[in-house]
């Protein structure tokens, strides 16, 4: 049985990805930072699933995560770098700590995880890595400039790693969701959400399952000749 490691899988998009891949027959190692209860509840609903604590912004914590997952499952065949954080506000109003925390989580965390994934996968000459970015990493967003920069870095990092790891038989791709109905949208009113849906050519807000099914495709053998790509899942809102 193949094993997939999913960071930030305690809720929202991460939980949907974990569910999709579990149903596809993967053993699932999922991480949480603060939502241990949610992660453990998710594990009870999935087959061959185990939750691991990880602060994705910490190099040492990510290193320990990979050691723990390999000890538990024996191998890692695919990695989904989903863990991330958001910040809404003007750059000039952000503190140094807020900037560093956001970049460490949204960009450096992906780099750390990919580094340790590559350490393991190169030895086996096979593996798949999918990084979760954002449409704001493609087009930028006012009041989310640092977030946009970090997510844009994830896209470029994906392309670079696809070149770096391709000769070892490892595929690296990226998914950039648009407006997705997760708890991150709870701060918006019903009218605001309807306005976002109206701005989307497909006429609705996306669901975590829309993203999860895309990730499942990229991990599957159906995408065996796809690497270094950023697949935008946004219903057309960024067009």
Mean pLDDT of the chain: 95
Q: Is 193 exposed, middle or buried (0-12, 13-18, 19+ CB in 10 A)?
A: middle
CB 49 within 8 A of CB 64: no
pLDDT of residue 65: 98
Return the bridge partners of 170, or none.
127
Exposed/middle/buried for residue 125 (C-beta within 10 Å: 0-12, 13-18, 19+)? exposed
* Three-class SS state of 125: coil
Calpha distance 124→76 (Å, rounded): 10
pTM for the whole structure:
0.96
Domain parsing of the chain, residue ranges: 3-181+209-229
pLDDT value of residue 188:
78
At the second CATH level, the architecture of 3-181+209-229 is 3-Layer(aba) Sandwich (3.40)
Place of tokens 């009041």: 143
Q: How far is CA 106 from CA 42, 43, 71, 113, 150, in A?
A: 23, 24, 26, 11, 6
Angle between helical axes of 12-23 and 36-45 (0-180°, round to 10):
20
Query: What SS3 state is found at 80?
Result: strand
Task: With a cut of 70, list the residues of the chain below it in pLDDT.
Answer: none
pLDDT tens-place string over residues 24-67: 999 999 999 988 999 999 999 999 999 999 999 999 999 999 99
Residue 168: per-residue pLDDT: 97
Neighbours of 239 (CB within 10 A): 9
Distance between alpha carbon 87 and the CA centroid of its chain, in Å?
A: 17
Active site residues: 147
């Amino acid at each position: 049985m193949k094993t997939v490691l999913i960071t930030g899988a305690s809720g929202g998009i991460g939980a949907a990805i974990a569910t999709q891949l579990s149903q596809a027959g993967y053993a699932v190692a999922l991480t949480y930072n603060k939502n241990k209860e949610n992660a453990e509840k998710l594990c009870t609903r999935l087959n061959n699933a185990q939750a691991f604590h990880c602060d994705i912004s910490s190099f040492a914590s990510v290193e320990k995560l990979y050691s723990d997952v390999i000890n538990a499952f024996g191998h890692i065949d695919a990695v989904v770098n989903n863990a991330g954080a958001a910040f809404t506000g003007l750059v000039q109003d952000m503190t140094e700590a807020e900037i560093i925390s956001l970049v460490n989580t949204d960009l450096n965390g992906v780099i750390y995880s990919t580094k340790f994934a590559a350490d393991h996968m190169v030895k086996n000459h096979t593996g798949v890595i999918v990084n979760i970015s954002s449409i704001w990493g493609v087009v930028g967003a006012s009041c989310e400039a640092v977030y946009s920069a970090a997510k844009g870095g994830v896209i470029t990092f994906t392309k670079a790693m696809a070149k770096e790891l391709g000769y070892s038989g490892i595929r690296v791709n990226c998914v950039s969701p648009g407006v997705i109905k997760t708890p991150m949208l709870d701060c918006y009113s019903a009218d605001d959400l309807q306005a976002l849906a109206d701005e989307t050519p497909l006429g609705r807000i996306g669901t975590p399952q829309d993203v999860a099914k895309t990730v499942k495709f990229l991990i599957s053998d159906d995408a065996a000749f796809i690497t270094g790509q950023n697949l935008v899942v946004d219903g057309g809102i960024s067009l």
